[in-house]
Amino acid sequence: MYTIQKHLATPDLVLDTTITHALAPTNLIPTCTTAGTDKKKHGKSRKETYSSHIYKVLKQVHPDTGISNKAMAILNSFVNNILERIATEASVLSYPKKGTISSCKIQTLAHHPPGELSKHAMSKGTKSVTKFSAGTGK
């Protein structure tokens, strides 16, 4: 370990630099020591998006069409917003201490999206409830 002292512009200021050598004296690596900070480095946090799903659906519907990153961000925000609204509405409509939501409540939730999207959501929701009821024997 080598200690190098550098005098700055005024004689009372001294910069202390501690250097440790790795393999050879020519490979000097400066080290910084901070007292009391033992923070672990965390990796990059993953952000969940619906981009891959949106892209797959786009390619099924229009194989020759692409989408820009900005448009993908807007669609991702839209999907997050709709799902958040449905989850909020489901929590309000569900009865306390009951783990399931009735088909009537699901249809109420399907009316939530605006315009033409509501019609598609209603038809898909009714189809899903019918298929579920037929499959379970209810």
Is 22 within 8 Å of 35 (Cβ atoms)? no
Token pair belonging to 111:
């009316």
Residue 86 has pLDDT above 80, yes or no: no
Token pair belonging to 90:
């489901």
Is 99 within 8 Å of 106 (Cβ atoms)? no
Strands annotated E in 22-98:
28-30
Residue 49 has pLDDT above 80, yes or no: yes
pLDDT one-digit tens code per residue, 1-32? 444 444 445 455 444 444 444 443 444 455 55
**Residue 76 carries which side chain, given as an amino acid letter?**
N
- Model confidence pTM above 0.85: no
- Which pLDDT value is given to residue 109? 67
Buried b / exposed e across 70-106, counting CB within 10 Å, b at 16+? eebeebbeeeeeeeeebeeeeeeeeeeeeeeeeeebb
Mean pLDDT score, 107-134: 75
Domains of the chain, start order: 1-31 (no CATH), 50-93 (1.10.20.10), 100-138 (no CATH)
